[in-house]
Amino acid sequence: MARLLITLGMRDAGGAAAVDARGSVPVATRTRRGATEAATASSWAAGRRWAILLALGWLVQAGLRVWFSRHQVMPLANPDETAYLVAARVLAGGPAADLSYSTLYPGGYPLLITPAYWFFSNPSTVYHAVTVINALISALVLPLGYLACRRLGLGRPAAYGVAFVAALVPAGFFYSEYAMTDAVFVVITLAWLLTTHSWLTASSARARYANAAGSAALAAYAYAVHSRGLVMVAGLAVMGVFIGWRQAAARLSVLVAALTAVVVAAAAWALNHHISLIVYPEGARSLSGQIRQRLGSVNGIIHVLEMAAGQLWRVVLDSWGIAGIGLVAALLVIVRRDVRSDLRIMGALAVAVTTLIACIAPAALPSDQPQAWASGRYLDGMIIVFFLVGAAVLLRARMRDIVVCAAVCTGLFLLAAVTVAVYIGTTVPTLGFGAGFNFAEPAVVTQNWTNASVALATAVTLVLLAVWIGFAFALRRLRPGRVFAAVYAAFGICVAAVSLVAVAQMTSHVSQNHDSNTQEAITLMEAGKVRPGDQVAIAPSLGWMLTVPQAFEVSWTELKHFRPGQQPLPAGTTVVETGWPAGLPAQASWPDAPAGWRIVASDQDVGWVVWRKG
């Protein structure tokens, strides 16, 4: 369009249209102007059509997410989900809960799901509403991915297809079925990178200020959602310094970004402090303390590097190899002089963010979560980013460059797989909710939901990668036409099919898995006939695996903590729940129970006893 205007724009030095001696516009000029206006109108019409297609695609993606989560009625990943749901309930004006000594779960995500409590109070209905909110936000991967692909040089049809397929990858889809930050963090990551790129390349002051503020707000909000958002804040700071150094005209926008980041981060700190006082009255576990402890020795640093290798292994595996191509391409772009500078800078930023999250996020994990370091959850946003890049490389790059990227990716992937096998073993557990949640993708590619072989998972991923390269080779051997279009479509359909099958199996084995502490807690409540209006006191002997889920299920009041024999029974209590002491009768769980209290339900195998007055 710019070239057309330069060629046909018959204007003099003052900018006025050329006219003849009679003061009228020549016929040739009017014809050219009409052609230009027609081209502009056609471009706007095409833009509107694609906007409608993006809106329809977003609805389809949201509908798929809602449909897959339709059977989900309770939090399964505890204490994470319960902590976010309780915080949302508190922000909506509902009763609190005491989750002291647990990890402090930030308030950015609970803010998004608080509206579920404005309209509903039943826990199952609230959870359904939360998954709908998740779906609407998570589906934004499609329009954001489309914008990213357009900036990577893909045409509109190809960009739409790649973005649609990327939105089906489990890293950007599956976690929308849970009340967890992973449901929205992919969208935040994509939006932040896009606004940062727009800030870097803005051609007007207004666009520069708007994108500087947007990038800063998103980075600070990412910090409000999850601690790995601090890496994005650090990335924002580096970009600000770079832009201020390289672009004198943009220095004021750096100040705008800094002020925005400070304001949003301060609001996030205040929100977290408010939640901490109400939900964690006795204090929360320190993640920064865990990081300092692990980085305080040589063995700890080696351990962190091993954990980072586990994360990177999952980046390749969880994307069926395509994100591995994208990650290597980003590494190579950084050092190539024949690539646009903005792409080189964004490649460096994406690689740096990925590396830091891979090292820092698992290092902050509590020592009682030995499997989660290779779960892939913490890099889910970057998995989708590099999936988009990798797909663009497969569709646009020279075959020689694709082969180089694939070779480097394979070498790094094998090295990471060896590290995983040495550190965690030649198989990873996939049986039960916790193991399946952490290693669902390896279970899918190996079709083993008991113990997934690391070697087999690695081999299958490399086979899938070879298939995608085969498609790329075939496309370059064909001329544009029906056969070319058919192969092009088959490429996207195959990747989408693998992702949808994976999501379906993960949902069946993980999201609908009844082997969870929440199910046991609900069984306890049903057996004890705990109903709205009851005031429930819980003894420490019950254990957090039964206590925490009830903090969400008992939505009408705050659970009271009670130490039998050491504290008086809280006033108004109608139900007391205790643990069943090993080797003793159920009555020993509360030996000095006042007159009138009796056992109404118990389970020696799980280890709980429910007492009720009357």
The answer to whether the CB of 535 falls within 8 A of the CB of 572 is yes
Give DSSP secondary structure letters for 475-490.
Answer: HHHS-TTHHHHHHHHH
pLDDT of residue 338: 82
The answer to whether the CB of 361 falls within 8 A of the CB of 228 is yes
The pLDDT of residue 16 is above 70: no
- Measured CA to CA, the distance from residue 316 to residue 415 in angstroms comes to 12
pLDDT tens, position by position, 104-136: 899 999 999 999 999 999 999 999 999 999 999
Alpha-carbon distances, residue 599 vs 531, 575, 590, 596 (angstroms): 16, 10, 10, 10
How many other CB atoms are found less than 10 A from the CB of residue 357? 23
Confidence of residue 39 (pLDDT cuts 50, 70, 90): low
pLDDT of residue 190: 97
pLDDT of residue 15: 36
Query: Residue 596 — left, alpha, or beta (φ > 0 → left; ψ -120 to 50 → alpha)?
Result: left
pLDDT tens, position by position, 478-535: 888 888 889 989 999 999 999 999 999 999 998 876 666 788 888 899 999 999 999 9
Alpha-carbon distances, residue 581 vs 8, 295, 521, 527, 610 (angstroms): 89, 40, 18, 19, 13
The answer to whether the CB of 359 falls within 8 A of the CB of 308 is yes
- Measured CA to CA, the distance from residue 244 to residue 237 in angstroms comes to 11
What pTM was estimated for this model as a whole? Answer: 0.90
Spatial neighbors of 298 by CB under 8 A, at least 6 apart, are none
Mean pLDDT, residues 139-147 taken together: 98
Cα angle 92, 96, 99 (rounded to 5 degrees) comes to 130
pLDDT of residue 481: 85
pLDDT tens, position by position, 300-350: 788 788 888 999 999 999 999 999 999 999 999 998 888 888 899 999 999
The pLDDT of residue 14 is above 50: no
Count the alpha carbons within 13 Å of 157 in the hemisphere toward its beta carbon.
Answer: 4
Check residues 563 and 65 and name the one with the higher pLDDT.
Answer: 65
How many other CB atoms are found less than 10 A from the CB of residue 573? 17
User: Beta strand 608-613 with 597-603: parallel, antiparallel or unpaired?
Assistant: antiparallel
The answer to whether the CB of 553 falls within 8 A of the CB of 531 is no
